[in-house]
Each structure stands twice: as structure tokens, then as C-alpha cells.
A and B are shown apart, each in its own frame.
Chain A
Amino acid sequence: EAQVTQNPRYLITVTGKKLTVTCSQNMNHEYMSWYRQDPGLGLRQIYYSMNVEVTDKGDVPEGYKVSRKEKRNFPLILESPSPNQTSLYFCASSLKGPRGAVRTEAFFGQGTRLTVV
């Protein structure tokens, strides 16, 4: 079954304790990205990756890191989490369209609800 898998689904942690949220897709998609969703603000892009070893900042990258060592995996790293990073996080993947543009459907993981206390 084609899917994007995120883990963990729920996480409560303390300020400053490094954490990693994993994301894996089995569709051989080039493009992967991370979003956070907060009430009234919608989905905001944190980081994205166009292919292996190619990553770039989205709209709200501060406090986050990513890596893309393999095509299927795109982990999100919070080196020193703070309470303002409490949010619902989604990983997504899609195919690269013609001329590199994003034209195709994005598939989302089930989300990770993170609480930082």
C-alpha cells in the first residue's frame, strides 16, 4: 500500500530535550516536505527536499533541522524544543513534475501531535 508513515503519532517532551520525528514513504517520490499546522494559521511549510542530499528552508524553519540521506526517509529534528513548537506536524511527499515544478498530488502522513512542556 502506498503510504507516508510518521512516527511517533503523539509525543510529549520537555523543553530542550532533542527529538526526532521520522517520516518514510514507499512511493519513490522525489519531493518531501514537513509542515506544521496551528489553529487559525493553516499548514505552514518548515523544510522541503527535492531529492537526496537536497534540502531547503520553507516558511518557518527556525528551530528545526532535516536531512535526506535516502530517498524514502526525511526526518525532522528539533535540537532544543521549546513550547512554541507545540503543534501538529505533517510530512508529505509527491512526485516531481515537469521542469521540477510541483504539479502533482501530495500524500500526507497521519501527523505527529507534539507537546513541549
Chain B
Amino acid sequence: RKEVEQDPGPFNVPEGATVAFNCTYSNSASQSFFWYRQDCRKEPKLLMSVYSSGNEDGRFTAQLNRASQYISLLIRDSKLSDSATYLCVVNGLPSGTYKYIFGTGTRLKVLA
């Protein structure tokens, strides 16, 4: 089983739609969780961190479910500019370990 798994997509949605991605992780000791956005062959950039209580940033909402070991990203009112690959990132192990583990990404295409 991969340490971090994502549905690769692509998710093709019309402008204005709401879309949600899930990401599962295998290590129950993981402590930090992030969503990154990557445009075609460019560097990943932080979209948002994911907090235990869930958090929202404008049209984006992130949730963490520790019991089921998954994180989610919800995008409301999709824009054409949201088209990108969304990477789920998990801090691998408990303290003292320097490791981010990346999912392979979920591709989103927002259609006009």
C-alpha cells in the first residue's frame, strides 16, 4: 500500500461547480498535513495546511479525519484558474524525522 494515495483523476468539472478530493495516508503517527497546488511542470506551491479541526480559506476547505486516516479538499465555485494538479502531502513520521511524503496528485480541469 502506498504511504499516501490519491485518485489521479482527471476531474473535469464545469465552472462554478463544487469538487472534492480525498487523500488517504497509511502512517497513523503522521502529524502534519498539507495540500499543494502544482501547475503543469512548475514547482509545487502551498495551497493550505490542514488542521485537526478543519480549516477554510476562501473557496477552499480542508478537513482531516484521523480515525479513517484521510484528508480532503473541497473547492467551491470552481474557476478556470483552479485547473491544476493538487498534491496531498503528509509529514512521514514522529519527531526527529525530516520527511514529507507526497501523493502523486489529483488533476483538476475546470471547463468553461
Contact = CB atoms under 8 A, between A and B. Distances in A.
Contact of A100 (B8, B87, B96): B96
B34 interface: yes
Consensus secondary structure, chain B interface: loop
Contacts of A56: 98
B108 to A, nearest CB: 16
B43 A111 contact: yes
A101 B94 contact: yes
A31 to B, nearest CB: 6
Contacts of A106: 44, 46, 89, 100
The bracket for how many chain B residues form the interface is: 20 to 34
Interface of B: 8, 31-32, 34, 41-46, 49, 87, 89, 91-92, 94-100, 102-105
Given A42-B103, A102-B98, 18 more contacts: A33-B100, A42-B87, A45-B100, A48-B99, A90-B43, A90-B44, A99-B96, A101-B91, A101-B97, A102-B97, A103-B31, A104-B32, A105-B34, A106-B44, A108-B43, A109-B43, A110-B42, A111-B41
